[in-house]
């Protein structure tokens, strides 16, 4: 299996995250990608390729232009104010407040943020742009006939909505890849999100559409970030009615129960009969992940990689979360090896 990866990911190197009322070292950090690359090389899964530059058009096919401009300019605007720390949102247009974008960077951060844990720092835009190009190049490989490919994206993307960032995500890599496939002739694409956290951004982007089927397995939003999307009764609206499937699960969910949800999602995807499958691959379902509460063990990732392969679809894996950094390489590559081994 070919992997696409950019060293520009390291330009995203925030030093602070708001967690538990403290500013801590971010859970989403550059070493996550390094551990995965090291494991890919250890098992010799396949070549690791740099991304091709597809430009801005595929990004703007998914994301609001003003939002993208904000991401490009936010770091410099924050620094120009003379602030000492990293750019973190502190206020939002909450219920019954005016939904207008302020001119001051402090207000803009809140207007475009969906959560406060994610700082914008120098290098964030360049890393996010490169991550999107990684996903687009992976989509090219699958369109070109590869049975499976791995887009090692960092920063991740599935929390990024049409016009919002948060949850460590700035551009929605999986959504950008899906739209690219559609723009190059695909009729239907399925996105399967196996990250512990609900793919709220991906759902937001495709919720009214029938050309992308979205399924997400995740911690119940009553208990887990992002809290305000991901309930089972969210199934799409308008033309998109019936093309979203959410599988929220409670704390301490074991692999046996999680796999039942996966089987249901895979059955729905098979009936949808997409031209290709995109997997938002988060391995924060691992039993010792520090910010999650499922109980998957390392061999389980190999097992479900094989389950995905059994669909027989051209498949692009797009990297999302996973924060037990010592084990992220093992667990990520286990999924890919399970997929390859079942081919």
Q: What angle do CA 255, 258, 264 make, to 5 degrees?
A: 140
Residue 333 contacts residue 148 (beta carbons within 8 Å): no
In angstroms, the CA 209 to CA 217 distance is 20
In angstroms, the CA 70 to CA 68 distance is 5
At 277, is the secondary structure helix, strand, or coil? strand
Task: Report CA torsion sign: 59, 126, 35, 166.
Answer: negative
Catalytic-residue membership of 159: yes
CB contact set of 96 (below 8 Å; sequence gap of 6+):
none
From the list 315, 246, 259, the residue with the least C-alpha distance to 285 is 259
Active-site residue among 9, 159, 197, 218?
Answer: 159
CB contact set of 292 (below 8 Å; sequence gap of 6+):
196, 197, 219, 224, 284, 285, 286, 323
Q: Which helix (H) or strand (E) holds 292?
A: none
In angstroms, the CA 278 to CA 267 distance is 15
In angstroms, the CA 110 to CA 112 distance is 5
In angstroms, the CA 340 to CA 338 distance is 6
Residue 29 contacts residue 16 (beta carbons within 8 Å): no
Q: What angle do CA 238, 157, 55 make, to 5 degrees?
A: 95
Instruction: Show which residues are catalytic.
Output: 159
């Amino acid at each position: 299996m070919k992997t696409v990866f950019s060293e520009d990911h390291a330009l995203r190197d925030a030093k602070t995250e708001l967690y538990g009322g403290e500013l801590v070292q971010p859970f989403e950090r550059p070493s996550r990608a390094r551990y995965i690359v090291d494991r890919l090389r250890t098992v010799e899964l396949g070549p690791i390729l740099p991304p091709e530059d597809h430009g801005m058009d595929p990004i703007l096919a998914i994301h609001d232009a003003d939002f993208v401009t904000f991401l490009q300019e936010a770091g410099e605007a924050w620094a120009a104010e003379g602030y000492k720390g990293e750019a973190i949102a502190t206020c939002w247009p909450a219920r019954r407040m005016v939904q207008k974008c302020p001119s001051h960077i402090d207000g803009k951060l809140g207007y475009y943020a969906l959560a406060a844990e994610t700082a914008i720092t120098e290098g964030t835009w360049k890393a996010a742009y490169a991550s999107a190009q990684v996903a687009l190049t992976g989509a090219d490989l699958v369109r070109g006939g590869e049975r499976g490919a791995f887009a090692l994206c960092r920063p991740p993307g599935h929390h990024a909505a049409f016009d919002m960032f948060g949850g460590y995500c700035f551009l929605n890599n999986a959504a950008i890849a899906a739209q690219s496939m559609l723009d190059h002739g695909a009729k239907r694409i399925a996105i399967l999100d196996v990250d512990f956290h609900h793919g709220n951004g991906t759902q937001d982007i495709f919720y009214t559409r029938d050309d992308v089927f979205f399924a997400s397995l995740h911690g119940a939003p009553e208990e887990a970030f992002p809290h305000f999307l991901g309930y089972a009764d969210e199934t799409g609206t308008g033309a998109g009615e019936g093309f979203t499937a959410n599988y929220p699960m409670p704390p301490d969910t074991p692999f046996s129960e999680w796999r039942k949800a996966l089987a249901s999602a895979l059955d729905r995807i098979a009936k949808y009969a997409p031209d290709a499958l995109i997997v938002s691959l988060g391995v924060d379902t691992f039993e010792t992940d520090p910010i999650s509460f499922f109980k998957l063990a390392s061999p389980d990732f190999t097992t479900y990689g094989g389950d995905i392969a059994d669909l027989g679809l051209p498949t692009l894996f797009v990297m999302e979360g996973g924060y037990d950094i010592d084990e992220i390489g093992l667990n990520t590559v286990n999924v890919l090896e399970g997929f390859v081994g079942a081919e």
